[in-house]
Chain A
Amino acid sequence: AIQMTQSPSSLSASVGDRVTITCRASQGIRNDLGWYQQKPGKAPKLLIYAASSLQSGVPSRFSGSGSGTDFTLTISSLQPEDFATYYCLQDYNYLGTFGQGTKVEIK
């Protein structure tokens, strides 16, 4: 099974900061990677698919990059509504795997 290693597991940041979260796949997955945002008690929300494509309705401050094994989610200027937990997901395989999650907290 493909393992996804996400880092950091948590971070503290201020409004306006640039935030970067990374995911590394245990084998090449082309660009078959998505990024999700999840708030407490809510279902995950898709932000990015195919590593760098912005899902409809998602603010442009979110961006994704990478291919093969190394991927990055960047929030260019953190907003109050962005404090949440973020997950990567590889859907290269017929059964995907998620990263462990990154909790973004207010500094």
Chain B
Amino acid sequence: EVQLVETGGGLIQPGGSLRLSCAASGFTVSSNYMSWVRQAPGKGLEWVSVIYSGGSTYYADSVKGRFTISRDNSKNTLYLQMNSLRAEDTAVYYCATGLGTVVTPSVWGQGTLVTVSS
């Protein structure tokens, strides 16, 4: 079964750092286009970052220079390192991927909540 499971969320003070993990099963992370998408409480969806199978990475302007997407092929896991966190980074963070020839993300994790507050 194809599955994504995010972990690592929690309460963090402004300026702090957190690393989210997304463990994949049923497919190979390194062969897929993997994304992080977030949703602030009561708000819409925002695509945060993507890593292509070839290793190219892209970031939303709102997180550029603060967040880093990466993967560990041996663990079949995607990561999001978040530094210099701000209150406006408070959100549920989802990892997501497309499968086969469909690039549009069709498989999503359950999400992990990050709360940035003093």
**Chain B contact patch, size range:** 20 to 34
Residues in B whose Cβ lies below 8 Å from that of A98: 44-47
User: How far apart sit A87 and B110, CA to CA, in the bound complex (Å)?
Assistant: 18
Min C-beta distance of A100 to chain B, whole Å:
5
**Chain A contact patch, size range:** 20 to 34
User: How far apart sit A98 and B96, CA to CA, in the bound complex (Å)?
Assistant: 14
User: How far apart sit A95 and B37, CA to CA, in the bound complex (Å)?
Assistant: 10
The proximity string for B residues 36-53 relative to A, scoring 1 for CB distances below 8 Å and 0 otherwise, is: 010000001111011010
Asked if B1 CB lies within 8 Å of chain A CBs, one says no
Contact B111 A49 (CB under 8 A): no
- List residues 25-70 of chain A with CB under 8 A from any CB of chain B: 34, 36, 38, 43-46, 49-50, 53, 55
User: How far apart sit A16 and B60, CA to CA, in the bound complex (Å)?
Assistant: 39
User: How far apart sit A95 and B96, CA to CA, in the bound complex (Å)?
Assistant: 13
Give the nearest-CB partner of A43 in chain B: B108
User: How far apart sit A55 and B104, CA to CA, in the bound complex (Å)?
Assistant: 10
Residues in B whose Cβ lies below 8 Å from that of A95: 47, 49-50, 58-60
Residues in A whose Cβ lies below 8 Å from that of B110: 43
Residues in A whose Cβ lies below 8 Å from that of B49: 95
Asked if B9 CB lies within 8 Å of chain A CBs, one says no
A1-B61, A94-B58 are known contacts. Are A101 and B104 too (CB-CB below 8 A)?
Answer: no
- List residues 63-107 of chain A with CB under 8 A from any CB of chain B: 87, 89, 91, 94-101
Residues in B whose Cβ lies below 8 Å from that of A43: 94, 96, 108-111
B residues near A, CB below 8 A? Answer: 35, 37, 44-47, 49-50, 52, 56, 58-61, 94, 96, 102-106, 108-111
